[in-house]
Amino acid sequence: MRSFLWAALFLLATLALLASAQPSVTALEPEAEVLGLAVSGNHLAAVYANGTLATYELPLLTPVCSARWNLGAVKPVGGGAVEGGLAVFVLSNGTVVAFNPASCSVAWKAELPGGRLERAVVGGRWVVAVAKYGYSTEKGSLELDRVLVYDVVLRALTFKVDRNSDIRLVYAFDVKVSGNLLLLVGIDTTCEICRLTDTYVVVYNLSTFERVFAERIGECKADLRGSALLAARVEDGTGFMSNLLTGARWEFKVGSRIADARVSGGEGYVLAQQPEGGVA
């Protein structure tokens, strides 16, 4: 009997430990549509369709504060944390709003010129936005892309990439920021089918405005973390991993269509589509 009790206690203790080790899920069910999310430290900020800005403490999503924004037809196109413990939302009309996630009070605002903003990435010192602007040709008017870089420390627009840049930009397919480096995947022509062969990957140093890497790869997925750059062609999985500091480069071929590429901890990972429709 005693051995049975000890066995039962051991089993209960084991089950308790397993239960405590299981990840928990906290759900938030807002009453309005969520237009944008941003994480800053241990705070999650959300902008709702009714104009409410609300922040929640992670991981339990405990309400912290809220404020009312007059958005009208404007929508967030990106958000994230910046230096100084602030969070930022970038709006489609070019407004950058920095606020304190602990009080929901606006710290400062800035206006990005250059057209309607389509998307933006925010990280550390930088706000990088892709703007649409009109360009007239003999065949009519086109909408082209312009990449705008805003320095939250200097509170100024410090860098831009468009059709007048040393490497001409017509359309931006992807932008990412890692530290002081900007990764841009783009193309320099309006030819749609040329995306398969003419898409390029460029990395700029935002502190010095220098181009540290440029290569025409074709339609691809790319990622940048620290000095590690990963790029793989969508069509056949041909790609490379490069160290931008040392120049070391490792080339590979997956042999399948690529759905995504990511760098983490100095290692590169690609998500490949299998012929049967699965992924690997």
Same fold, 113-218 and 221-280: yes
C-alpha to C-alpha distances, 177 to 218, 222, 227, 233, nearest whole angstrom: 21, 12, 12, 21
Is it true that domain 221-280 has CATH number 2.40.10? Answer: yes
Answer yes or no: are the C-beta atoms of 98 and 125 closer than 8 Å. Answer: no
For residue 136, what pLDDT is reported? Answer: 80
Is it true that domain 113-218 has CATH number 3.40.50.1580? Answer: no
Task: Read off the pLDDT of residues 19-53 as tens digits, 9 standing for 90 and up.
Answer: 455 566 666 667 689 999 999 999 999 999 999 99
Amino acid at 200: Y
How far apart, in whole angstroms, are the C-alpha atoms of residue 114 and residue 96? 14
- The neighbour count for residue 197, using CB atoms within 10 Å, is 14
| Domain spans in the chain, listed from the N-terminal domain onward | 33-111, 113-218, 221-280
Q: Global pTM?
A: 0.86
Answer yes or no: are the C-beta atoms of 163 and 170 closer than 8 Å. Answer: yes
Bridge partners for 216 per DSSP: 200
Cα–Cα nearest to 84, from 99, 104, 97: 99
State both tokens at 228: 């590690």
CATH level 3 topology of 33-111: Thrombin, subunit H (2.40.10)
Task: Read off the pLDDT of residues 245-279 as tens digits, 9 standing for 90 and up.
Answer: 999 999 999 989 999 999 998 899 999 987 765 55
Residue showing tokens 């308790």: 16
